[in-house]
Chain A
Amino acid sequence: MSYLPYALAVWLLVVGLYGVVTSRHLVHLVVCLTVAQSSTYVLLLAVGYRKHATAPIFKGIPLGTKATDPVVQALTLTDVVVSVTVLALLLAVAVQVYVREGTLDPDEIPAVRG
C-alpha cells in the first residue's frame, strides 16, 4: 500500500502519453496531455503527505500539531494554473486548426515537414 500513490502517478503519466500517441483528434489529444500532467499533482501531493497529520492550517489548532507539507500544496496550485493555461491555449489553437483545415486529425495537419 505504501507505494500505491507513486505507482498511480507513474501510471497516469504513461497512460497520458499513450493517449496522445494514439490520438486521432486534437481535443482528445489535448485532454490526454492534461491527464499526463495530473500525474505530477498526484506525485507532489503524495510526496508531502504525512501519516496522521492535519492540513497545514493552524486556525483553531495548537502550533506544533503534526501537519502535512505546505510547500507541495503551493506547488500543486501553481501546477494547476499551468495546466489550465496550457489547456486553454492549445484548445484555442485546435479551434483555429479546425476553422482553417476542416480537420482535427493530427496526422492530416502537417504543412511543414522534411
Chain B
Amino acid sequence: MDVLVPLPVALPLLAAAVLAAVGTFLPAWFGDLVAAVVSVAVTAIGVVLLTRTGRHDLVYWFGGWRPSHGVALGIAFDVDGAGAALGAVAGLLMAASVAFSWRYFDETGPLFHVLLLVFLGAVEGFALSGDLFNLFVFLELMTVAAIALTGYGDEPAPLQGALNFGIVNGFGAFFLLFGIGLLYGRTGALNLAQIGRSLAGGRADGLVLVGFLLVTAGFLVKAGVVPFHFWLADAYAVAPAPVCVLYSGVMSDLGLNAVAKVYWPVFSGPLAAHATALRAILVTLGVVSALLGGAMAFLQRDLKRMLAFVTIGQIGIGLVGIGLLTARSLAGTTLYVVSDGLVRGSLLLVVGVLIRRIRSCDELNARGGGLPVSGVLFAVGGLAIAGLPPVGSFFGRALIEDGATGGYRWLPVVLTAASILSGGALLRAAGRIYLGWGSDREPVLGEEQASPEQEEPAHPPRGSLVVMLASAAALLVVGVGMAAWPGLPGKAVTAAVRTIDRPAHAAEVLEGKPPPHERASAPAPSGTSIAAGLASAAGAVGLALLALFGGLEALARRPVLRLKALHSGIVTDYVTWLTAGIAALGAAFVLALR
C-alpha cells in the first residue's frame, strides 16, 4: 500500500488541530505559514499520486484491514486519476488563496486558518474515499467548515449565505444517508465495490432505484445542479473571495465527480439494462443546468454571484459528460472540470483584487475602475470559460461532445449556447470594468447586492498587489495550459475506461487483482467540436459587445424577471425546490427505468 495515500487528509487535519491548540500563543503570520506549507505539500503529494495511477488505482486499507473473502472489514481509499487530479487541484487552489490573502485574516487569530485546513482535509478525503459512509462523513466535514468560512463577516449577507448553505446541504446529506441505509440493509456493505458486486446479480427494483436517487441527489446538491442549485449562488456570492476560490474551483466539481464515482462501481450493474433512459434523464438535467446557469450569469451585476452561476452552468456541462455514460465523455468531464475549476479560481482571485482596491465587485459601480493587468487576466479567463480552442477546457468539452452516441448529435449546439451565455457575461463585465465601455446604468440587472466584504484597506501595498495578481495568473496558466501536457486526453480516457469496467474494478479493490491494461487513445477533436469551440468564443465576444453597446433593455420581459425572482434568497423556498426536485427526479427514474 502506498504510504502517501493517507497524507493529503492527515496532514491538513493534524496541522489544524495543532494550530488550534497552540496558535493563540504564536504570532499571527504563523497560521499563514502553516496553511501555505501544508497546501503546497498536499499539491505535491496529489501530483505524485496522479503519476502513480497510470496503470492501476491506489487502494489503501486504513488500519491494515484488507478484505477477507470479498468482505471489506475496514475503510478504503481508492485513488484513481480523477480523484488524484482533483486532490492536487484543491491543494493548488488553497496555496493560491493563502498567498493571495497573506496576513489578511490576522484579526481572527488562528481560527480562520484552522477552518481552512479542516476544509482542505475534508475535500481530500471526499476526493479519495472509496467507502460510501466515509464519503458522507467528509461531505459533512466540508459543510461544517464551510458554514463558518461563509458566515464569517460583519454584514447580513454572509449569514444568509451560510444559513442557506447549511440547511440545504444538510438535507442533501440526510438524503444521502437515507440512501446509504437502504443500500446497507440490502447488501450489508459500505465499500463501493462490494455494494456493487452484491447488487450486480439483482434487477433494478424499488430499493435500488430509490437508493440511487437519494445518493445521487445528495451529491447533486453539493454540485449545485438545477433545481438543487439555489443555495450555491447565495453562498458563493458572499463568502470571502479566497474561500470562494475553493468552493467554486473544487467543491462543486467534487460533488459532480462523486456521481460518477458512485454510479459506475455501485449502480452500473443493475441499471445497465436501462442505460438509454438514464442517459436521457441525466443529459436533460445537465443541459437545463448549463443553460439556466449561463442565463442567470448573464443577468447578474455582482461579479461573485455571476461566477457562482457560471459555476452552475459549467457543472451542468460536466454532468452531460457523465450522463452520456461513455468512457470518452466521462474523461472529457474530468478534464473539463479540472481545467475550468482552475480558471474559475483565477477569475475569483481577480475579483478579489478588485474588491481590495475599490471595495466593490459590482459590474456597474466598478465601471472603468479596474487595473489593466487584471483586465487581461479576466478577459483570458472569460474566453477560457467560453471554451476557445486550444485552452484546457476545450479538449474536455470536445471529448464530451465527441463521446456522445446515437441521438445526441445536437449536443454541440446546446453546449455552445450555454458557453456563449457564460462567456458573454464575463466578457461584458470585463469590457465594462477594465475598458470603461457601456453605460453604468442597467435597470434589468437590478439593485446592487449587499456589499460582501468590509473594512478593506482601499490601497493595498504594491508588493501584495503583485502577489495577488501572480496567484491569479498562476492558476490561469495551469488551467489554460493543461492542454500542452502531451497525451493528457489519452491518459484521461484510459483512466475512464478502467472506471467503467465494473467487474475488473471490484476485483482490483476487493482482491487486489491488477486490472487489464488497455491503453486507450483519444482521437483529435473533431471538426464539429472545433467549430463549436470557435463559435462559442466568437459568440461570447459578440454577445458581450451587443450587451455593452446595445444595452440590455430588450431583456426586460416577464419570463426573464420571473426567472430572477425565483432565486428569492429565502431558505424555505429552497427546501421546497429541493423536495420538488427529488420527487420529480424520482418520478422520472421510476417511470423510465422500470
The interface of chain A, by Cβ under 8 A from chain B, is 9, 13, 17, 20-23, 26, 29-30, 33, 36-37, 39-40, 43-44, 47-48, 69, 71-72, 75, 78-79, 82, 85-86, 89-90, 93-94, 96-97, 100-101, 106-107, 109-114
Contacts and interface: CB of A to CB of B under 8 A. Distances in A.
Interface stretch (B178-186, B394-402, B463-471): B178-186
23 contacts: A9-B181, A20-B572, A20-B575, A21-B579, A40-B181, A43-B181, A75-B180, A78-B133, A79-B177, A85-B140, A86-B143, A89-B144, A89-B148, A93-B162, A94-B163, A96-B151, A100-B156, A101-B156, A106-B163, A109-B159, A109-B569, A111-B450, A112-B157
Contacts of A40: 174, 177-178, 181
B170 interface: yes
* Interface residues of B, dominant DSSP: helix
Contact of B178 (A39, A75, A94, A113): A39
Interface string B565-590: 10111111001100100000000000
B174 A36 contact: yes
A93 B147 contact: yes
A92 to B, nearest CB: 8
Interface in B444-463: 446, 449-450
A39 B140 contact: no
Given A40-B177, A75-B133, A112-B569, A86 B144 contact: yes
A114 B144 CA distance: 26
A109 B174 CA distance: 25
A97 B166 CA distance: 14
Given A17-B171, A97-B159, A47 B181 contact: yes
B225 interface: no
B425 to A, nearest CB: 14
Given A85-B144, A86-B140, A112-B157, 6 more contacts: A20-B171, A79-B177, A82-B140, A100-B159, A109-B569, A111-B450
Interface in B42-67: none
Given A13-B174, A101-B156, A114-B567, A90 B144 contact: no
Contacts of B567: 113-114
Given A82-B140, A93-B147, A93-B151, A39 B450 contact: no
Residue among B147, B170, B185, B565 with the highest chain A CB neighbour number at 10 A: B170
Nearest to B139: A82
Interface in B147-192: 147-148, 151, 155-157, 159-163, 166-167, 170-171, 173-174, 177-178, 180-182, 184-185, 188, 190
B572 A36 contact: no
A48 B185 CA distance: 7
A73 B191 CA distance: 17
Contacts of A44: 177, 181, 184
A63 B181 CA distance: 27
Contacts of B302: 112
B170 A47 contact: no
A111 B178 CA distance: 33
Contacts of A33: 167, 170-171
Nearest 8 interchain pairs by C-beta: A110-B569, A113-B569, A47-B185, A43-B181, A111-B450, A111-B157, A40-B177, A114-B564
Interface residues of B, number: 51
Interface of B: 133, 137, 140, 143-144, 147-148, 151, 155-157, 159-163, 166-167, 170-171, 173-174, 177-178, 180-182, 184-185, 188, 190, 234, 237-238, 299, 302, 305, 446, 449-450, 564-565, 567-572, 575-576, 579
Nearest to A36: B174
A66 B195 CA distance: 24
Given A13-B178, A39-B174, A20 B167 contact: yes
A29 B164 CA distance: 12
Contacts of A69: 188
B60 to A, nearest CB: 20
Contacts of B572: 20-23, 29, 106-107
A109 B446 contact: no
B198 to A, nearest CB: 15
Nearest to A10: B178
Nearest to B564: A114
Contacts of B180: 75
A79 B177 CA distance: 9
B194 to A, nearest CB: 13
A86 B170 contact: yes
A16 B147 CA distance: 21
A22 B564 CA distance: 23
Given A39-B174, A90-B147, A112 B237 contact: yes
A84 B178 CA distance: 18
B567 to A, nearest CB: 6
Nearest to A23: B572
A111 B156 contact: yes
A11 B157 CA distance: 34
Contacts of B140: 82, 85-86
Contacts of A21: 572, 575-576, 579
A85 B115 CA distance: 14
Contacts of A110: 160, 568-570
B163 A109 contact: yes
A72 B189 CA distance: 11
